[in-house]
Amino acid sequence: MANVLLGCILGFVAWFCVRYVATSFYTVNQNERGVKTSFGRAERVGNATTLQDPIAASLSDEEKPRYNYPQVRVIPPGGPYFKWPWERVYRVSVATQTINLAVDPEDRTANEHGTVLEAVTKDQLNTGLKGQIRYHASEKNLYAYLFGVKHPVTHVMGYFVSILRERIANFEAPPPPKNLEDTSPHVGAATAVIGISINDLRKNLRDINDHMDRECAGSAARYGIALDASLITGIDPPEDVESALAAINTAYNEVSSGISLAQAGADQKIVQSKRAVEIETLKAQAEVQPLVALADQLVDLKKSGAGALKAYVRNVRLKLFTEAKSVIMEVGHE
């Protein structure tokens, strides 16, 4: 009986060592961060909260009380570390991941199996959006990622899609510069032909991506996931509208080309006219200058004496007579 009791004790000790002591040592990989809980409560950094961190700067005053999460103690990569049997370690990958913006984590068959996201423009045109999102778990708010939100990726995708659809539905192309309208009135008439939401969205795709980056800057404070970048690569209308848009774009290009050629021709003629005016002005100045100099000389001669001007006129006449081949003189008849 004593041997049986001793065997049970030794077996329990061996089981306890294998079950808890051997598994109490753990490591954290380089692309991971760890959070330890004791009896289900995460280790915290004093009374610090995420509102004291710069990631909460993008939250409004109304959102700050709602997304006030405690800051937890983050276990850096390395090891081995030790934990007690009543403690649990959560490992979170902080590597950047890429996902199609049309993917629905809860329903993989939605949005044409996660390939195209539908959105409605301001002129009630149904469009298909294609692109990607790069994200990673925020090391500064692992509490929200692990315990605050049940499915963080699903929340972030829904948050992103709602902002994107709102932007597409209310998007308007920025007006042309005022100086362009003042100097080239025909350009405004040509661009009015292209006032279609699809073309506006395609021309301002970079502005839309920048807008999404700004609006999603608070995702780390809300859900513990930081969006590195959003890249919308395609905006496609329905097939029955694509041909009409192609025709409109072709007409617009032809009008723009005609306006550009006419403007270039007009500019060239204006330059030529200015040059001709300058040449004629120089010629006139060249012809007037000797006359002005001669007038000054005659004034000086008149001032020098009463007969000086007559003598000058007589000398000029003699010079003309010597150079003339024939002279016609008028003879009076009595």
> What is the SS3 assignment for 171?
coil
Predicted local confidence at residue 191, as pLDDT: 43
CB 137, CB 225: distance < 8 Å: yes
Per-residue pLDDT, 143: 92
Residue 127 has phi, psi (to 5 degrees) of -120, 160
Please report where in the chains the tokens 């409004």 appear, as a residue.
Answer: 60
In whole angstroms, give the CA distance from residue 108 to residue 41: 34
What is the Cα–Cα distance from 99 to 115, expressed in whole angstroms? 11
Cα gap 141→270, rounded to integer Å: 66
Angle between helices 308-323 and 239-304 (to 10 degrees): 110
Q: What is the pLDDT of residue 240?
A: 66
Q: What is the distance between the alpha carbons of residues 140 and 90, in angstroms, rounded to a whole number?
A: 15
pLDDT of residue 73: 92
Distance, CA of 29 to CA of 75 (rounded, Å): 11
Q: What is the pLDDT of residue 190?
A: 41
> What letter represents residue 133's amino acid?
I
Amino acid 101: pLDDT: 86
Mean pLDDT per segment of 10 residues, for the chain of length 334 residues?
Answer: 77 73 81 91 89 87 90 89 86 90 85 84 83 90 89 87 87 64 45 57 83 85 86 78 69 82 88 89 85 79 74 76 74 65
